[in-house]
Chain A
Amino acid sequence: MPVVNVRVEKLRKLLGLDIPYDELVEHIASLGMSVEEADNVLKVEYNPNRPDFSSVYGIARALKTYLGIRTGLPKHRIMESDVKMLVDKSVEQVRPFIACAVVKGLRLEEQDLVEIIAMQEDLHWVLGRNRRKVAIGLHDMSAIVPPFIYKAVGFDEVRFVPLKDYRAMTPGEVLVKSEIGRKHAWLLQNAAMAPVIVDARGEVFSMPPIVNASITELSPGRRDVFIDVTGTEEDKVNQALNILSAALAEAGGKVHRVRVVYGRKTVYTPNMKPGKMTLDVDLASKLTGLRLTPNKAASLLRRMGMDAKAVGQKLVVRYPPYRVDILHPVDLVEDISIAYGYNRMTPEKPLSNTYGSLLPITTITELMSQLMIGMGYTEVHNLVLTNEETHYTAMEVEENSHVRLANPATKEYTMLRTSLIPSILSTLAFNKDNLYPQKIYEIGDVVIIDQTAAERTVREKHLAAATAHSDATYSEIKSTVDELFKQLLLSLDYRIEENKTFISGRCAAIYVNDTRAGFCGEISPKVLENIGLRMPVAAFEINIDKIIPRQR
């Protein structure tokens, strides 16, 4: 989850209120963020549906209304400017949308710049899906001359000096030579052209979504800032610009509109137009369990930075343009709940009369557990995730078809087990320095490929057990299986079977009603050597689904 560093002093200044530290933390948590406390800087973790919390300004804005300092829809004055962005048709195939703003008179200290860049990076991730959908450029306006042109060019067509570099390069070279360029090169790996923004003098000052030119790099001081947001979805591009504009306005800047011209279509950005949604107050009452009047609901929404006007039992709600999470009236209901306070609500019990029950498989496995424990076996628990080395090679058996992972993070987990015996033997190997005798069992899942299933697999419950001590033999494990089946009121028969995991001639398949339901035997010394175990082991495994068929 994204994290924003918030300077406590700055937050208090923005609120214009000297709130005690603990209360401040408490209020931030009530808004759904979690705070990790550190002296003068709060590490605030926010949910990715609220990218407007990506700066101290956004958090201060939410607190202001929530605490009732100034409720309702915050006003952001947007001024006119004559800055123009001309969008060339050539970007349509690469990165079709752009939204821009000019923020004048920003007083930026070193720390402010760090925070603004952090916010930009958060937006890249949360809204931009790692710059794919949205990429943001912030520029020192004094270095460039409008009008600007957003166009796509050949990879060797233009040259500029990228940020954090000193060499003039073509876009193609940027992706290879510049450090920032290399990092983001994957974003353009299938593109035929590179998008760039050039100013009236033909100077390239941005190569979205990769890097800015070094000429527009921001430094501390009083600055006029030009913002470009490019991307593949118009909505998201505008949302990102709205969030930035609101934040920079609260940072003391004057936000000016830019005229963006797409051929015959012209739009003005940032738009900053509030969203509008109708909320049925009954829905809010129903979902929260609170008895809400339209007035009460409206006042709660105002505390969440919205405006609401009652029309009968309905509210016409105007919500801020940076609230990208509002898709449905239920999203407004959540804001009502937050404003009301989750921990002020009295819990109540469900009304419906239902009867509890366990799955038959739970009951039968409980029973089997009881029998195994009665015979002195201790339960172990292993993962379904495993690897071919443990599952097949160490067991001296050939690979059968099995679920293979496409993107394992470690070599340890590359597949799903099809049998419990390897897990059980690994457990014994892990315990080789613990006291013997060791008798263990596991009831767990295995996953088998089944092309007829919608998921191409079936999950089976198996039971496996092993006994390890100096006198462990086939006859001991057979006695155990005999007793288990006797208690389960099942008759079984053994048929000799060759299985390389076991000693030849000391392994049997277990049949129930002519169905092969499992196997048992004495583990081969080769396998014991493979796993580093110096103790005789006998083991069995049965497929519970085969002996006690269940309905799926």
Chain B
Amino acid sequence: MTQVFHWLEKAVLAALTRLGGRGSYEKIAEEVAEVLRASGSEWRVDRESRISSVAKACGWLRDKGLVTVEEAGKERFVALDSEGIEYAVNGLPERKVVNHLQMKGEATVEEISALPRSEIGLMWARRRGWVDFVKKNSTTFVILKENVPDKTDVEKFLESLYTSPDAEIPESSVPQAVLEELLRRQKIVKITEKTMKTVSLTDSGRQAAAQLTEVVPEVTRLTPELLRSGAWRQVVLSKYDVKAPTPPVFAAKRHPLSEVIRMVKQAYVEMGFEEIEGPIVELAFWNFDALFQPQDHPAREMQDTFYLLEPAAGDVPVEHVEAVKAVHETGGDTGSKGWRYKWSVEEARKLLLRTHTTATTIRHLAKVKKPPVKVFCVDRIFRNEKVDWKHLAEFHQIEGIVVEKTANLRMLMGVLKDFYARLGLKEVRFRPSFFPYTEPSMEVEVKLGGKWLELGGSGIFRPETTYPFGVRDPVLAWGLGLERLAMVIYGLEDIRAFHLNDLAWLRTASPMKVLAAAGGF
């Protein structure tokens, strides 16, 4: 197997070979520059970057087992401190004093004081025996003596430190006297301590190095500059480890519930159903009374239904009140016995959060009356329930009705089977059930993962529900759970996940789940 090397790795291997198999980062960096120069290229980065690049490359090589990296003790270095840089460029303060005097011959102390850091300058010039102070007519003059050297050892050292490519010199190679003076004078140089690393080629490293071809510096990023200048022709773009992990990005997308809703709506539209909507703050009239739910029905009680403190009551549709009242009390003209109690319009005026979208359906029927009607609604409903992993106080219902002259129970089964088949659920069965507003009534069960799941209720609207609104034809109706279906599609155990909006989940929940549920493509 041939290994793919970054050019830096190649260069480090070559440099190490030239160094006899081992060396520090610094040495390797120098050698790498040599290797490159030998192959006719220039390594155009500063020393710091060189060393850090070498360190990085040594890390990669170590991971590949080609080199070992060991700590080789600590070493002290001398580097310029803040004032040292200034002195290296402009000269020491005593040199400034000397320069001034060389121009003028002599000068008053006042005159010298105008020079930068004159006090330090005067002190050191005198200590070195370069100047004397002479009093003339009560004015003190500074005069230059004869024996001033061109450059002291200290000055030579500062210069070499400043021009050194490393910007630091090992403490051991600095003359004792020079270092002592510099350290006595503050902020000129500082001592840094570094942990030295020794990099050594392993046997496989030696083998790899032996097989190396030419080393050419490579460019990582293709920049607009390289393109503009045409320099891209001269450089080699480095090869990447194309399998290396990269930082994550997240696709922005719809919420899983919206994906399911969209799929459900599409199924309805394909089946020729028209979408409808209605209020979520609903009159008890539409939510219960119009649906022949007696006013003392347990579902109407406070523990199941959210009633409103404000606004507490609204306006019932006067045109329908009499007929609904009659059907509750006596069965009206429907042939029913009715519930035989005194119906109260006050109870019907109460406002509540709709407990089912059937309230919206019956509103629609009261308007259109005549068949054919095929409408649907996928919308929010509310139950005053304790929230846990299985129950929400606010969730969605998948509602639909078909009104036809010849609508019947078998047709209801057909529509529901067709609907679920479009969602990828081929096995559907029906059981007798009970709802106050349908007769016959059916529970819809769907087979999912080998288990039968109750997904909703259905039935044919009772005459007591439809006659008061002038609807005489059979109305097939159903209300199915959305969240329970979505839970299965997304493999969720806790229904609350849908509105917790944990981005960690939203980012990973794939919309493909919905497609996959619907049987793929």
B291 CB within 8 Å of chain A: no
B265 neighbours in A (Cβ, 8 Å): 358, 362
Q: Contact: B410 with A50, CB < 8 Å?
A: no
| Inter-chain contact B252/A384, CB cutoff 8 Å | no
| Structural contact, A385 and B393, CB atoms closer than 8 A | yes
Is B95 on the interface with A (CB-CB < 8 A)? no
Pairwise interchain contact B433-A47, C-beta atoms closer than 8 A: yes
Interface window among B65-73, B134-142, B149-157, B307-315:
B307-315
Q: Tally of A-B residue pairs with Cβ under 8 A?
A: 285
- Of the candidate stretches A191-199, A324-332, A506-514, A519-527, the one touching chain B is A324-332
A357 to B276, CA, bound (A): 9
How distant is the Cα of A345 from the Cα of B428 in the complex, in angstroms?
13
Interface residues of A in 17-68 (CB under 8 A from B): 29-32, 34, 47-50
Contact call B432/A32, Cβ cutoff below 8 A: yes
Q: How many chain A residues touch the partner (CB < 8 A)?
A: 95
Question: For the complex, is A380 an interface residue (Cβ under 8 Å from B)?
Answer: yes
Q: Are A455 and B501 closer than 8 Å at their CB atoms?
A: no
Q: Would you give the shortest CB distance from B153 to chain A, in whole angstroms?
A: 52
Per the bound structure, the CA–CA distance linking A327 and B334 in Å amounts to 10
Query: Does B179 sit at the interface, judged by CB under 8 A?
Result: no
Decide if A378 is an interface residue (CB 8 Å cutoff).
yes
Partner among A31, A287, A342, A451 whose Cβ is within 8 Å of the Cβ of B442 = A342
Q: Mark B413-441, 1 if CB is under 8 A from A, else 0.
A: 11111100000000001111110100111
Within 8 A of A (CB), among B241-296: 248, 250, 252-255, 257-258, 262, 265, 268-277, 279-283, 296
Does B31 reach chain A (CB closer than 8 Å)?
no
A381–B274 touching, CB < 8 Å: no
Query: A407 near B306 (CB under 8 angstroms)?
Result: yes
The answer on a CB contact under 8 Å between B507 and A378 is yes
Contacting A at CB under 8 A, from B357-397, are: 371-374, 380, 382, 384-387, 392-394
Please tell me the number of chain B residues within 8 Å of chain A, measured between CB atoms: 106
For A390-420 the 0/1 string (1 means CB < 8 A from B) is 0000000000010111111110110010000
B500 within 8 A of A: yes
Chain A positions within 8 Å of B502 at CB level: 430-431, 434
A288 contacts which of B257, B384, B410, B443 (Cβ < 8 Å)?
B410
* A328-B308 in contact given A350-B407, A378-B252, A385-B394 (Cβ < 8 Å): no
Q: Is there an interface contact between B434 and A330, defined as CB atoms closer than 8 Å?
A: no
* A334 lies within 8 A of B402 (CB): no
User: Which of B122-130, B162-170, B337-345 faces chain A?
Assistant: B337-345
| CB neighbours of A342 from chain B (8 A) | 409, 413, 429-432, 442
B253, B275, B337: the one contacting A379 at CB < 8 Å is: B253
Contact B255 A381, beta carbon cutoff 8 Å: yes
| List of B residues within 8 angstroms of A447 by Cβ | 280-281
Across-interface contacts of B464 in A (CB, < 8 A) = 327-328
The reply on A111 being an interface residue by CB < 8 A is no
Interface stretch of the complex, out of A219-227, A312-320, A369-377: A369-377
8 Å CB interface, A426-462 against B: 427, 430-431, 434-435, 438-440, 445, 447, 449, 451, 453-459
Write the chain A residue with the least CB distance to B375: A354
Report B498 CB to chain A, min CB distance, Å.
6
Is B310's CB under 8 angstroms from A404's CB? Answer: yes
CB distance from A399 to the nearest CB of B (A): 12
CA distance A327 to B340 in the complex (A): 10
Q: Does B411 contact A (CB under 8 A)?
A: yes
Say yes or no: is B460 at the interface (Cβ < 8 Å to chain A): yes
Q: Annotate A147-161 by CB proximity to B: 1 below 8 A, 0 otherwise.
A: 000000000000000
- Most-contacted residue by chain B among A346, A404, A405 (CB, 10 A): A405
Q: What residues of B have a CB within 8 angstroms of the CB of A404 in the complex?
A: 308-310
The complex places the Cα of A445 from the Cα of B280 at a distance, in Å, of 9
What are 9 A-B residue pairs whose CB atoms fall within 8 Å in the complex? A233-B341, A334-B441, A349-B411, A351-B404, A352-B374, A369-B258, A381-B257, A401-B310, A439-B252
Q: Which residues of A contact B (CB under 8 A)?
A: 29-32, 34, 47-50, 125, 129, 133, 233, 235, 286-290, 325, 327-331, 333-334, 337-338, 342-343, 345-359, 361-362, 366, 369, 372-385, 401, 403-410, 412-413, 416, 427, 430-431, 434-435, 438-440, 445, 447, 449, 451, 453-459
Give 17 A-B pairs besides A338-B432, A357-B269 with Cβ atoms closer than 8 angstroms.
A30-B432, A31-B432, A49-B436, A328-B337, A330-B462, A331-B439, A337-B409, A347-B413, A352-B371, A352-B372, A356-B269, A369-B254, A379-B506, A383-B392, A383-B393, A403-B281, A440-B501
The 4 closest A-B pairs by CB, nearest first: A32-B432, A352-B372, A289-B408, A356-B269
